[in-house]
Amino acid sequence: MGAARLRGWKFCLLGGDRRQDYLGCRLARSGAEVWIVRRRPPRFPGLRHSRAKEPALDGARVIVCPMAPFGPDGRVCSEDPEDLLALTESDLDLLARPSVLFAGSFPERLAAAAEKAGCRPVALNDMDEMAILNSVPTAEGALLMALERTTVTLHSSKALVLGYGRTGQTMARTLLALRARVTVIARRPAARARARADGCEALPLEELAGALTDARFVFNTIPALVLTADALERARPDVIIIDLASAPGGTDFEAARRLGLTAVLAPGLPGRVAPETAGGHLAEVVTRIALQSLAPVEVRPS
Protein backbone atom coordinates (compact mmCIF):
# COMPACT_ATOMS: atom_id res chain seq x y z
CA MET A 1 0.00 0.00 0.00
CA GLY A 2 1.24 3.50 -0.83
CA ALA A 3 2.68 5.57 1.99
CA ALA A 4 -0.16 8.12 2.00
CA ARG A 5 -3.05 6.45 0.18
CA LEU A 6 -5.26 6.79 3.24
CA ARG A 7 -4.13 10.19 4.47
CA GLY A 8 -7.15 12.01 5.92
CA TRP A 9 -9.15 8.81 6.52
CA LYS A 10 -10.36 7.83 9.97
CA PHE A 11 -10.70 4.11 10.73
CA CYS A 12 -12.38 2.56 13.77
CA LEU A 13 -11.47 -1.05 14.65
CA LEU A 14 -13.86 -2.57 17.17
CA GLY A 15 -12.84 -5.48 19.43
CA GLY A 16 -11.54 -8.56 17.67
CA ASP A 17 -8.30 -10.48 18.11
CA ARG A 18 -4.61 -9.82 17.47
CA ARG A 19 -5.09 -9.42 13.73
CA GLN A 20 -6.75 -6.04 14.46
CA ASP A 21 -3.40 -4.74 15.74
CA TYR A 22 -1.61 -5.74 12.56
CA LEU A 23 -4.47 -4.43 10.43
CA GLY A 24 -4.28 -1.10 12.27
CA CYS A 25 -0.51 -0.94 11.86
CA ARG A 26 -0.77 -1.45 8.09
CA LEU A 27 -3.51 1.16 7.78
CA ALA A 28 -1.55 3.69 9.82
CA ARG A 29 1.50 3.17 7.60
CA SER A 30 -0.73 4.21 4.71
CA GLY A 31 -1.51 7.50 6.42
CA ALA A 32 -4.82 6.68 8.11
CA GLU A 33 -5.90 7.82 11.56
CA VAL A 34 -6.61 4.50 13.24
CA TRP A 35 -8.57 4.01 16.46
CA ILE A 36 -8.73 0.66 18.26
CA VAL A 37 -11.66 0.28 20.64
CA ARG A 38 -11.28 -2.28 23.43
CA ARG A 39 -10.09 -2.54 27.00
CA ARG A 40 -6.49 -3.51 26.23
CA PRO A 41 -4.22 -0.94 24.49
CA PRO A 42 -2.87 -1.76 21.00
CA ARG A 43 0.47 -3.50 20.66
CA PHE A 44 1.98 -0.95 18.25
CA PRO A 45 2.70 2.78 18.50
CA GLY A 46 0.86 5.19 16.23
CA LEU A 47 -2.57 3.70 16.90
CA ARG A 48 -5.12 5.59 18.97
CA HIS A 49 -6.86 3.73 21.75
CA SER A 50 -10.20 4.18 23.45
CA ARG A 51 -12.27 2.04 25.77
CA ALA A 52 -15.34 4.05 24.75
CA LYS A 53 -16.54 3.68 21.18
CA GLU A 54 -17.97 7.18 20.68
CA PRO A 55 -14.65 9.08 20.14
CA ALA A 56 -13.52 6.44 17.67
CA LEU A 57 -16.79 6.29 15.73
CA ASP A 58 -17.24 10.06 15.53
CA GLY A 59 -16.52 11.02 11.92
CA ALA A 60 -15.07 7.62 11.00
CA ARG A 61 -15.18 6.70 7.32
CA VAL A 62 -14.41 3.00 7.79
CA ILE A 63 -15.36 0.66 10.64
CA VAL A 64 -13.90 -2.84 10.89
CA CYS A 65 -15.61 -5.35 13.17
CA PRO A 66 -14.33 -8.88 13.83
CA MET A 67 -14.73 -11.79 11.45
CA ALA A 68 -16.62 -13.69 14.16
CA PRO A 69 -20.43 -13.23 14.15
CA PHE A 70 -22.12 -10.51 16.17
CA GLY A 71 -23.66 -11.62 19.42
CA PRO A 72 -27.04 -10.62 20.85
CA ASP A 73 -27.92 -6.91 20.59
CA GLY A 74 -24.96 -6.19 18.33
CA ARG A 75 -22.34 -7.57 20.73
CA VAL A 76 -18.91 -7.43 19.10
CA CYS A 77 -16.60 -10.41 19.57
CA SER A 78 -13.34 -9.77 21.41
CA GLU A 79 -10.49 -12.00 22.56
CA ASP A 80 -10.74 -10.19 25.89
CA PRO A 81 -13.78 -11.57 27.74
CA GLU A 82 -14.00 -8.34 29.77
CA ASP A 83 -14.73 -6.28 26.66
CA LEU A 84 -18.45 -5.56 26.51
CA LEU A 85 -18.61 -3.84 23.15
CA ALA A 86 -21.71 -3.61 21.00
CA LEU A 87 -22.42 -1.81 17.73
CA THR A 88 -25.94 -0.41 17.79
CA GLU A 89 -28.09 1.30 15.20
CA SER A 90 -27.74 4.64 17.00
CA ASP A 91 -23.93 4.38 16.78
CA LEU A 92 -24.20 4.63 13.00
CA ASP A 93 -25.34 8.25 13.32
CA LEU A 94 -21.82 9.16 14.48
CA LEU A 95 -20.18 8.07 11.24
CA ALA A 96 -19.19 10.23 8.31
CA ARG A 97 -21.35 9.90 5.21
CA PRO A 98 -20.74 7.94 3.15
CA SER A 99 -18.89 5.27 5.08
CA VAL A 100 -18.13 1.54 4.95
CA LEU A 101 -18.74 -1.06 7.66
CA PHE A 102 -16.77 -4.33 7.47
CA ALA A 103 -17.57 -7.46 9.44
CA GLY A 104 -17.48 -11.21 8.90
CA SER A 105 -21.28 -11.24 8.64
CA PHE A 106 -24.23 -9.09 9.69
CA PRO A 107 -27.57 -9.50 11.39
CA GLU A 108 -30.17 -8.38 8.86
CA ARG A 109 -31.36 -5.55 11.09
CA LEU A 110 -27.88 -4.05 11.46
CA ALA A 111 -27.16 -4.32 7.73
CA ALA A 112 -30.43 -2.54 6.92
CA ALA A 113 -29.73 0.18 9.48
CA ALA A 114 -26.25 0.72 8.05
CA GLU A 115 -27.56 1.19 4.52
CA LYS A 116 -30.19 3.60 5.80
CA ALA A 117 -27.44 5.63 7.50
CA GLY A 118 -25.39 5.86 4.30
CA CYS A 119 -22.95 3.19 5.43
CA ARG A 120 -22.18 0.30 3.08
CA PRO A 121 -22.08 -3.06 4.93
CA VAL A 122 -19.45 -5.47 3.55
CA ALA A 123 -19.65 -9.11 4.71
CA LEU A 124 -16.09 -10.39 4.48
CA ASN A 125 -17.04 -14.02 5.05
CA ASP A 126 -19.04 -13.94 1.80
CA MET A 127 -15.99 -12.97 -0.24
CA ASP A 128 -14.10 -15.74 -2.05
CA GLU A 129 -10.92 -13.70 -1.87
CA MET A 130 -11.04 -13.38 1.90
CA ALA A 131 -11.99 -17.01 2.44
CA ILE A 132 -9.17 -18.28 0.22
CA LEU A 133 -6.58 -16.05 1.89
CA ASN A 134 -7.75 -17.13 5.34
CA SER A 135 -7.72 -20.80 4.36
CA VAL A 136 -3.91 -20.89 4.48
CA PRO A 137 -3.46 -19.90 8.16
CA THR A 138 -6.54 -21.99 8.94
CA ALA A 139 -4.94 -25.10 7.43
CA GLU A 140 -1.58 -24.47 9.08
CA GLY A 141 -3.26 -23.85 12.42
CA ALA A 142 -5.28 -27.05 12.08
CA LEU A 143 -2.10 -29.03 11.45
CA LEU A 144 -0.49 -27.47 14.53
CA MET A 145 -3.49 -28.41 16.69
CA ALA A 146 -3.52 -31.95 15.33
CA LEU A 147 0.19 -32.56 15.85
CA GLU A 148 0.03 -31.25 19.42
CA ARG A 149 -2.51 -33.97 20.21
CA THR A 150 -0.98 -37.04 18.57
CA THR A 151 2.07 -39.29 18.79
CA VAL A 152 2.51 -39.88 15.04
CA THR A 153 3.46 -37.89 11.97
CA LEU A 154 1.02 -36.73 9.35
CA HIS A 155 3.40 -38.26 6.81
CA SER A 156 1.94 -41.64 5.76
CA SER A 157 -1.09 -41.25 8.04
CA LYS A 158 -4.63 -41.45 6.69
CA ALA A 159 -6.39 -38.10 6.92
CA LEU A 160 -9.99 -37.30 6.07
CA VAL A 161 -11.01 -33.86 4.85
CA LEU A 162 -14.76 -33.33 5.05
CA GLY A 163 -15.95 -30.84 2.47
CA TYR A 164 -14.03 -29.54 -0.53
CA GLY A 165 -14.79 -25.85 -0.61
CA ARG A 166 -12.24 -23.09 -0.20
CA THR A 167 -10.90 -24.24 3.17
CA GLY A 168 -11.20 -27.94 2.39
CA GLN A 169 -9.14 -27.62 -0.78
CA THR A 170 -6.31 -25.80 0.97
CA MET A 171 -6.45 -28.28 3.86
CA ALA A 172 -6.20 -31.27 1.53
CA ARG A 173 -3.39 -29.79 -0.57
CA THR A 174 -1.39 -28.94 2.55
CA LEU A 175 -1.79 -32.50 3.82
CA LEU A 176 -0.74 -33.89 0.44
CA ALA A 177 2.41 -31.76 0.56
CA LEU A 178 3.26 -33.51 3.85
CA ARG A 179 2.71 -36.89 2.19
CA ALA A 180 -0.38 -37.78 4.16
CA ARG A 181 -2.81 -40.23 2.59
CA VAL A 182 -5.77 -37.92 2.00
CA THR A 183 -9.39 -38.90 1.44
CA VAL A 184 -11.91 -36.17 0.74
CA ILE A 185 -15.55 -36.66 1.74
CA ALA A 186 -17.85 -34.43 -0.29
CA ARG A 187 -21.50 -34.34 -1.30
CA ARG A 188 -21.11 -33.02 -4.84
CA PRO A 189 -19.72 -35.25 -7.59
CA ALA A 190 -17.88 -32.25 -9.08
CA ALA A 191 -16.10 -31.64 -5.77
CA ARG A 192 -15.08 -35.28 -5.58
CA ALA A 193 -13.81 -35.13 -9.16
CA ARG A 194 -11.71 -32.06 -8.32
CA ALA A 195 -10.32 -33.83 -5.25
CA ARG A 196 -9.29 -36.82 -7.35
CA ALA A 197 -7.68 -34.51 -9.91
CA ASP A 198 -5.71 -32.94 -7.07
CA GLY A 199 -4.36 -36.33 -5.99
CA CYS A 200 -6.77 -37.33 -3.22
CA GLU A 201 -9.08 -40.26 -2.82
CA ALA A 202 -12.71 -39.13 -2.74
CA LEU A 203 -15.90 -40.59 -1.34
CA PRO A 204 -19.53 -39.44 -1.04
CA LEU A 205 -20.81 -38.29 2.33
CA GLU A 206 -22.80 -41.53 2.71
CA GLU A 207 -19.51 -43.42 3.06
CA LEU A 208 -18.11 -41.24 5.86
CA ALA A 209 -18.73 -43.73 8.67
CA GLY A 210 -16.83 -46.46 6.86
CA ALA A 211 -13.93 -44.11 6.09
CA LEU A 212 -13.61 -43.26 9.78
CA THR A 213 -12.63 -46.79 10.76
CA ASP A 214 -8.96 -46.36 9.83
CA ALA A 215 -8.50 -42.55 9.74
CA ARG A 216 -5.94 -41.13 12.18
CA PHE A 217 -6.87 -37.48 11.48
CA VAL A 218 -10.16 -35.83 10.52
CA PHE A 219 -10.48 -32.19 9.45
CA ASN A 220 -14.08 -31.07 9.07
CA THR A 221 -15.10 -27.98 7.05
CA ILE A 222 -18.80 -28.81 6.56
CA PRO A 223 -21.07 -26.45 8.59
CA ALA A 224 -23.64 -29.15 9.37
CA LEU A 225 -23.77 -32.12 11.73
CA VAL A 226 -21.92 -34.79 9.75
CA LEU A 227 -19.82 -36.42 12.47
CA THR A 228 -22.83 -37.85 14.27
CA ALA A 229 -22.79 -40.20 17.24
CA ASP A 230 -23.40 -43.17 14.94
CA ALA A 231 -20.50 -42.19 12.70
CA LEU A 232 -18.15 -41.50 15.62
CA GLU A 233 -18.77 -44.98 16.99
CA ARG A 234 -16.92 -46.29 13.92
CA ALA A 235 -13.83 -44.12 14.54
CA ARG A 236 -10.60 -45.53 15.92
CA PRO A 237 -9.96 -44.52 19.55
CA ASP A 238 -6.81 -42.50 18.78
CA VAL A 239 -8.39 -40.37 16.04
CA ILE A 240 -7.79 -36.61 16.17
CA ILE A 241 -10.76 -34.52 14.97
CA ILE A 242 -10.20 -30.83 14.23
CA ASP A 243 -13.49 -29.12 13.36
CA LEU A 244 -12.97 -25.99 11.24
CA ALA A 245 -16.63 -25.30 10.47
CA SER A 246 -18.43 -22.29 11.86
CA ALA A 247 -19.79 -22.74 15.37
CA PRO A 248 -21.29 -25.03 16.53
CA GLY A 249 -19.29 -27.08 14.02
CA GLY A 250 -20.17 -30.35 12.34
CA THR A 251 -19.28 -32.74 15.18
CA ASP A 252 -21.38 -34.21 17.96
CA PHE A 253 -18.90 -33.15 20.63
CA GLU A 254 -20.91 -34.68 23.45
CA ALA A 255 -20.82 -38.05 21.73
CA ALA A 256 -17.09 -37.67 21.09
CA ARG A 257 -16.52 -36.94 24.79
CA ARG A 258 -18.62 -39.94 25.79
CA LEU A 259 -16.63 -42.18 23.46
CA GLY A 260 -13.31 -40.84 24.72
CA LEU A 261 -12.37 -39.31 21.35
CA THR A 262 -10.27 -36.18 20.86
CA ALA A 263 -12.43 -33.63 19.04
CA VAL A 264 -11.73 -29.89 19.01
CA LEU A 265 -13.75 -27.00 17.61
CA ALA A 266 -11.22 -24.54 16.15
CA PRO A 267 -12.79 -21.18 15.22
CA GLY A 268 -10.78 -18.05 14.36
CA LEU A 269 -7.50 -19.82 13.62
CA PRO A 270 -6.08 -17.07 11.35
CA GLY A 271 -6.18 -14.56 14.20
CA ARG A 272 -4.79 -17.06 16.69
CA VAL A 273 -1.91 -18.68 14.80
CA ALA A 274 -0.93 -16.09 12.17
CA PRO A 275 -2.32 -12.67 13.16
CA GLU A 276 0.33 -10.74 11.22
CA THR A 277 -0.41 -12.58 7.98
CA ALA A 278 -4.18 -12.48 8.53
CA GLY A 279 -4.09 -8.79 9.45
CA GLY A 280 -2.10 -8.04 6.32
CA HIS A 281 -4.61 -9.84 4.13
CA LEU A 282 -7.42 -7.97 5.84
CA ALA A 283 -5.65 -4.64 5.28
CA GLU A 284 -5.34 -5.31 1.54
CA VAL A 285 -9.02 -6.16 1.15
CA VAL A 286 -10.34 -3.40 3.41
CA THR A 287 -8.18 -0.74 1.76
CA ARG A 288 -9.15 -1.71 -1.77
CA ILE A 289 -12.89 -1.83 -1.08
CA ALA A 290 -12.84 1.38 0.95
CA LEU A 291 -11.04 3.27 -1.83
CA GLN A 292 -13.46 1.88 -4.42
CA SER A 293 -16.55 2.65 -2.32
CA LEU A 294 -15.89 6.13 -1.02
CA ALA A 295 -15.37 9.42 -2.78
CA PRO A 296 -11.99 11.08 -2.19
CA VAL A 297 -11.88 12.74 1.21
CA GLU A 298 -10.52 16.15 1.97
CA VAL A 299 -7.06 15.93 3.53
CA ARG A 300 -7.00 17.61 6.91
CA PRO A 301 -4.03 19.88 7.67
CA SER A 302 -1.39 18.20 9.83
Same domain, 262 and 207: yes
What's the CA gap between 166 and 157, in Å, rounded? 23
What's the CA gap between 185 and 122, in Å, rounded? 31
Q: Is residue 14 part of a domain?
A: yes
Tell which residue, 89, 96, 87, 88, has the closest CA to residue 118.
96
Q: Is residue 300 part of a domain?
A: no
Confidence label for 302 from pLDDT (cuts 50, 70 and 90): very low
Same domain, 262 and 216: yes
Q: What is the CATH classification number for the domain harbouring 251?
A: 3.40.50.720
Same domain, 64 and 150: no
Same domain, 137 and 262: yes
Rounded to the nearest angstrom, the gap between the alpha carbon of residue 272 and the centroid of all alpha carbons in its chain is 10
Tell which residue, 147, 150, 187, 144, has the closest CA to residue 168.
187
What's the CA gap between 59 and 188, in Å, rounded? 47
Prediction pTM value: 0.88
Same domain, 78 and 116: yes
Q: Specify the pLDDT at position 247.
A: 84
Which region among 14-28, 68-82, 156-170, 259-273 has the lowest average model confidence (pLDDT)? 68-82
What's the CA gap between 247 and 228, in Å, rounded? 15
DSSP letter assigned to residue 266? -
Q: Specify the pLDDT at position 299.
A: 45
What's the CA gap between 5 and 179, in Å, rounded? 44
Same domain, 246 and 119: no
User: Using an 8 Å Cβ cutoff, are 67 and 268 in contact?
Assistant: yes
User: Using an 8 Å Cβ cutoff, are 94 and 101 in contact?
Assistant: no
pLDDT digits (tens, 9 = 90+) for 157-203: 999 999 999 999 999 999 999 999 999 999 999 999 999 999 999 99
Q: Where in the sequence is the domain holding 16, given as residue range(s)?
A: 10-126+274-293
Q: Is residue 18 part of a domain?
A: yes
Same domain, 154 and 63: no
Same domain, 162 and 261: yes
Most confident of 37-46, 83-92, 162-171: 162-171
Q: Is residue 302 part of a domain?
A: no
Same domain, 53 and 153: no
pLDDT digits (tens, 9 = 90+) for 202-240: 999 999 999 999 999 999 999 999 999 999 999 999 999
- Give me the number of domains the chain comprises: 2
